[in-house]
Amino acid sequence: MSFRFSDDLETFRTEVRSFVEANLSPRTRQRAAEGLRLTKDDYTDWFKALHAKGWITPGWPREHGGTDWTPLQRYIFEEECYLAGAPPVTGGMNMIGPVLIQFGTEAQKATYLPRMRRGELWWAQGFSEPGSGSDLASLSTRAWREGDDYVVNGTKIWTTQANYADMMFALVRTKPEGKPQESISMVLIPMTAPGVSIQRIMTIDGSGELYQTFLDNVRIPAANLVGEENMGWTYAKFLLGFERFGIAGIGLTKRQMDRLKRVLAAEGLADAPRWAERVARAEADLMALEFTAIRLVQESTGKSPGVESSLLKIRGTELRQRIYAMTLDAAGQGAIPYLDEVLHPGWQGAPMGPAHAGTLAANYLENRKISIYGGSNEIQREVLAQAALGRMR
């Protein structure tokens, strides 16, 4: 069974594929194929190419630098980029960008959106805290108004690439009383502001891309409030809908499936009946996920993502973790030796095991987190259950 888009969309796919082949750095392509860690240069070089083409923010309205692509065109674009190993468009463009366009002031749009499109402004996400993860409404970081400023105190955790970030979009509590969700605001915090400091968190895979961010009497202009005070929960749900919609990662999963097949071939297992069955089951599940994603993409025209994004998040992350586990299993004991240095630029040492297995353990461990961030899958199941029960009433 296969799915084919219309001739116009297939022509668009060919255009995207040709652009990626011509503009994605061979260095970046190779590093992605081998499961090596990307550097900031890998991201910024790709962002420059996308900006020059006018494709850096396809999901934004045209008046803000968008493309007016249909949802299916965006789906094809993202899939082709992931299949080729292109870095994801990060730096907040697919998260705080849509929020500012929808809820920000004209001054905020003029200040931040052009710099974001040029890849000159990187954002960190300040949502989770040491005591508030999936239960985000319990956050304790405080902000109170003093004249023309807000003063912010608290701690954020799991701040991805905080070392690259120029700004943070953060949820803070601005009203001590009332329901937790009704006393949260969203603010924009310069990472260079006095009182902001970061501390690296070493993760199980050794990547260290996560940080804890400390906010000690940080003063920001009141103009850095997004939308209305105490409406941050609404803006956060809007933002997280976009994040979870993309976390399904169809293109990323297809790329890992191709890698699994390469490892099986290298290990002489490509024709083993048991492995053929496992691969076929995973491919069937991937096909079902893709068809579901395409259907939901078609239905999402003109709307922000709904509870369906939770479904894609659950199925997509669990399938990707399963394929990473299969890849590690296929490599067997060859994947056990692990040196973190192997994953970084400039490594010249001899591999400790088979060349195809050197990064598998780290990649597997790194992807244990994808079912947690963006709202854990347990929370997403609760979201779906509440939506289903609400429709039954």
* CATH number of the domain residue 342 falls in: 1.20.140.10
Residues 222 and 256 in one domain: no
Say if 333 falls within a structural domain: yes
Model-level pTM? 0.84
Burial of residue 175 (CB within 10 Å: 0-12, 13-18, 19+) is middle
Nearest alpha carbon to residue 220 among 191, 181, 199: 191
Single residue among 230, 263, 298 that ends a domain in this structure: 230
Residues 380 and 302 in one domain: yes
Say if 116 falls within a structural domain: no
Q: Is the pLDDT of residue 304 over 60?
A: no
Query: Mutual orientation of helices 40-53 and 26-33 as an angle, nearest 10°?
Result: 120
- What integer best gives the mean pLDDT of the chain? 89
pLDDT band at 150 (very low <50, low <70, confident <90, very high): very high
pLDDT (tens digit, 9 = 90+) per residue, 197-219?
Answer: 999 998 888 877 899 999 999 99
Q: Is the pLDDT of residue 93 over 90?
A: no
Work out the average pLDDT over 234-246.
Answer: 72
pLDDT (tens digit, 9 = 90+) per residue, 305-348?
Answer: 567 778 888 999 999 999 999 999 999 988 887 777 777 777 77
Q: Where does residue 175 fall: left (phi above 0), alpha (psi -120 to 50 degrees), or beta otherwise?
A: beta
Q: Is the pLDDT of residue 68 over 90?
A: no
Residues 256 and 184 in one domain: no
Say if 190 falls within a structural domain: yes
Residue 233 and residue 359: Cα distance in Å, rounded?
Answer: 39
pLDDT band at 143 (very low <50, low <70, confident <90, very high): very high
Residues 292 and 371 in one domain: yes
Residues 65 and 152 in one domain: no
Work out the average pLDDT over 117-137.
Answer: 89
Q: Which residues constitute the domain of residue 165?
A: 122-230
State the total domains in the chain: 3
Query: Which pLDDT score is estimated for 245?
Result: 53
Q: Which residues, 6+ apart, have CB-to-CB distance to 52 below 8 Å?
A: none
